[in-house]
Structure 1
Amino acid sequence: MTGRTVRALHAAHRDDIADLTTRRPLPGPRVEQVDPFLFLNHHGPQTYGPNNSGLPFGPHPHRGFETVTFILEGSLSHMDTGGHESVIEAGGVQWMTAGKGLVHAELSPDDFKREGGPLEILQLWVNLPPALKMTEPRYTGLQRDEIPALDLGGGASAQLISGELKGETGPIPSLTGVMMSVVHLEAGASVALPAPAARNVFLYAVRGTVSVGGQAVAPYTLAEMNADGDEVRIEADSDAVFLFGHADPIGEPVVAHGPFVMNTQDEIRQAFADYRAGLFEREPVSV
């Protein structure tokens, strides 16, 4: 096996939303996407006091891609016009395929707004190829105990969300074969994670300092990897958490405007027209 090297490091930039601490490594000044991974918002870590207003993400539309939301601390209430509704607690994950169009809301549950507490949430946008952009919407919400926790040995472990790792298969069947996980390393631990040839790697350091392919990666940093090996070797200088995944690149034009990601400007205009016409509203979102 050959370890991949780091092409570039992309530190997240601050872009707070009201009182919500927000960092964004993707897209950034030197990287537009890691095809098919389009966008990552890292909210928190922070602590909310009692009687807070919670998350600010009221009803809004999406078309043409998927959202993967990692609830590291706190909780998240999800409602959408496909009739899906859930409250996911710390350690859980949401995977929503917007496809041809959904309106959804991502808010804090009433008990969190009443009592407060720690909050840290990451949301990743994953592109869909042209043939799947208008697929039927779907949603899966998983609590921590519904996600396989794999012991990778030597102080390394992973929550496997989709795809395969160490002979196990994640509970969410990705439409495009995305492998996605949350990896935990104890201080001094190391791990070699498979990264099949011709697939693009997504690696974002959430907590702790790690060494990736021999290069130090600080927290809140996206490591863009070269396609020069078939595994990624990571060592932890301190207790660390990072997102790790890989996927086949789509290799098609990306035209994004606000909440829609399509392949042409005409498709973006059609998305806005369909939204204004109420075509995303199969069931109301109650907030």
Structure 2
Amino acid sequence: MRSIKKLHHAIDEPMNGLSTYRAFPNIYIDQIDPFLLLNHHGPQEFSQNNSGLPFGPHPHRGFETLTFILKGDVVHSDSSGGKSIITTGGIQWMTAGKGIIHSENSSDEFKRKGGVEEVLQLWINLPAKLKLTPPKYIGLQKNQIPKLKLDSGKLTVNLISGKWDNTKGEIDSLTDIFTSFIELRKNGILNISVEKERNILLYVVDGKIRVNNEIADKLILVEFNNNNEKINIEALEDSIIIFCHGRPLNEPVVSYGPFVMNTEAEIRQAMIDYQSGKFG
């Protein structure tokens, strides 16, 4: 089995009044190449007549984002024309590429009625040759995401990108990234092989699992070594995990706020392009 390097507890970092746990980067772990960042917002109860999510218009360049809407909803709008309201169980995939401005808020209905919001956002790096690719947005509702029932129905794999046996995710990743979130009922067991050259991202959203003989519970990021292909996961209680993997880019990463490039000169150019209105 692939050995575990370390278990990391997500860091409590509220954002504008929104409960947020940052799995990475933080003082304990930087990135899991090609994955740059994972924020876990909520679960948080919003009262009636609330202001919704606090993410007004802001720019990005040089990477992609994958947003998991586990509870509540997210209204997306961007400068490339992308727009949608994705509800519980859906996802949003955005390629920032050469530059995009977008906002993420809550629907008018959610603001009026209130409810529970739980959203995770993953940043996925793009290689130098694709950093200036045209921006793009795809939103998928829960019923549009392929689902695989395993272990007599104890496991549900929500497949977003990549392949699982003969099933293909709805998102065509630019960089051969496998992404999913998996729902496990207690005692459910998952055995999977991942090429040892690929880096694995496994984060426990809720519940408790045993992974390769180590116990990881809610808000734990599992950091693996790259010494084997076999992964064994057993649900010790009903659980939800984010499970992704990809080949490392092994390129320099220079970031400044919402921009992720390879050099400081490229960051400066991104700022100039944004300020001069070239992000749409």
Residue equivalent to 2:212: 213
More displaced stretch, 92-101 vs 223-232: 223-232
More displaced stretch, 86-95 vs 165-174: 165-174
Is residue 2:44 matched to residue 1:46?
yes
Which amino acid in 1 is paired with 2:121?
Answer: Q
Give the alignment of 1:189-208 within 5 angstroms: 189-208=188-207
RMSD: 0.8
Tell me, in whole angstroms, the C-alpha distance in 1 between the residues paired with 2:166 and 2:230: 15
1:14 aligned residue (8, 12, 15) = 12
Tell me, in whole angstroms, the C-alpha distance in 1 between the residues paired with 2:193 and 2:170: 19
Structure 1 contact 10–28 (Cα < 8 Å) conserved: no
Residue equivalent to 2:103: 105
Segments of 5+ residues of structure 2 without an aligned counterpart are: none
Deviations 1:80-99 (A, max 9, x none): 00011000000000000000
Give the alignment of 1:214-253 within 5 angstroms: 214-253=213-252
Deviations 1:32-63 (A, max 9, x none): 10000000110001111110011000000000
Query: What displacement does 1:197 show?
Result: 2.4
1:86 aligned residue (84, 87, 90) = 84
Tell me, in whole angstroms, the C-alpha distance in 2 between the residues paired with 1:121 and 1:34: 20
Residue equivalent to 2:180: 181
Give the alignment of 1:261-280 within 5 angstroms: 261-280=260-279
Query: What displacement does 1:228 show?
Result: 1.7
Query: What displacement does 1:18 show?
Result: 2.4
Segments of 5+ residues of structure 1 without an aligned counterpart are: 282-287
More displaced stretch, 137-146 vs 10-19: 10-19
Tell me, in whole angstroms, the C-alpha distance in 2 between the residues paired with 1:244 and 1:217: 14
SS in structure 1 opposite 2:187? coil
2:132 aligned residue (128, 131, 134) = 134
Query: What displacement does 1:30 show?
Result: 2.2
Deviations 1:210-267 (A, max 9, x none): 1111001121111011112213111111000000011010000000000000000000
Give the fraction of aligned pairs with identical amino acids, expressed as a percent: 48
Tell me, in whole angstroms, the C-alpha distance in 2 between the residues paired with 1:140 and 1:263: 26
Residue equivalent to 2:94: 96
SS in structure 2 opposite 1:180? strand
Q: Tell me which stretches of 4 or more aligned residues in structure 1 moved more than 2 Å.
A: none
TM-score (norm 2): 0.98
Tell me, in whole angstroms, the C-alpha distance in 2 between the residues paired with 1:231 and 1:97: 31
SS in structure 2 opposite 1:266? helix
Deviations 1:183-202 (A, max 9, x none): 11111111012312211101
Tell me, in whole angstroms, the C-alpha distance in 2 between the residues paired with 1:166 and 1:242: 20
SS in structure 1 opposite 2:124? strand
Number of aligned residue pairs:
279
Query: What displacement does 1:278 show?
Result: 0.3
Query: What displacement does 1:78 show?
Result: 0.2
Tell me, in whole angstroms, the C-alpha distance in 1 between the residues paired with 2:34 and 2:150: 26
SS in structure 2 opposite 1:46? strand
